[in-house]
Amino acid sequence: MNRREFLKTSLTATAVLAGSVILGGTLVHAAANSKGGKMKILVITGSPRKNGNSNTLAEHFIRGAKEAGHEIVRFDAAFKDVHPCIACNKCGMNGECVFKDDFEFVRKHIVDAGMVVFATPMYYFGISAQIKAVIDRFYAINGSIHVPKKAALLMTYADNNKRKEKAITDHYEILLDYLGWSDVGKVIAPGVWPVGAVNHTKFPEQAYLLGKSV
């Protein structure tokens, strides 16, 4: 079975398990991830600074989402043990990974989450290595997460050049397009570098209101 055939088969099987069906090649999802409008939200942070600016945005988003009644599960990638993917393909794109580490927590919660939030600083014009390692390990659950979910991006960076945001926003949007997830909002905070700099801006409130609105 080639890669394309595997993806088609695994997506079909996963859709059935998730209460979804494929009609005419279109995935139709019965929103089983939420009850009464409430859902599980997995927040994945990538900053190695505990009080970093992107983590501050994550905390404000979480506060708003909790007030809206959602269940929040948080994974701080920089303080966890997540081995980078080594492309061994032992998982077959939807099976057990050869590494037994803290990614098991993500694996446990992401499948039934109705929304995934990525909170990252810009490091050398891209997302932080810590959160990238987590995203790369999505490979092992590829078939299980190709179901409609909501997503959001919380991003901070020191510069003020919108062109430099594109490396991260394009990656995020292409990832969502591949997975079939829907963007519900981005909070992008430029011009923040020292710890706490974001506190003196409008962006924490924006993150809070985004969490409150999902």
Burial of 36 (0-12, 13-18, 19+ CB in 10 A): exposed
pTM (predicted TM-score): 0.83
Digits of tens for pLDDT over the chain (214 positions)? 444 444 444 443 333 333 332 222 222 232 334 445 899 999 999 999 989 999 999 999 999 999 999 999 999 999 999 999 999 999 999 999 999 999 999 999 999 999 999 999 999 999 999 999 999 999 999 999 999 999 999 999 999 989 999 999 999 999 999 999 999 999 999 999 999 999 999 999 999 999 999 9
Contacts of 29 (CB under 8 A, 6+ apart): 15, 18, 19, 20, 147, 148
Per residue in 107-155, pLDDT (tens digit) is 999 999 999 999 999 999 999 999 999 999 999 999 999 999 999 999 9
- Look at strands 26-29 and 20-23 and give their pairing: antiparallel
Distance CA 143, CA 129 (A): 24
Distance CA 162, CA 132 (A): 21
Residue 153, token pair as written in the block: 């991006």
Residues counted in the chain: 214
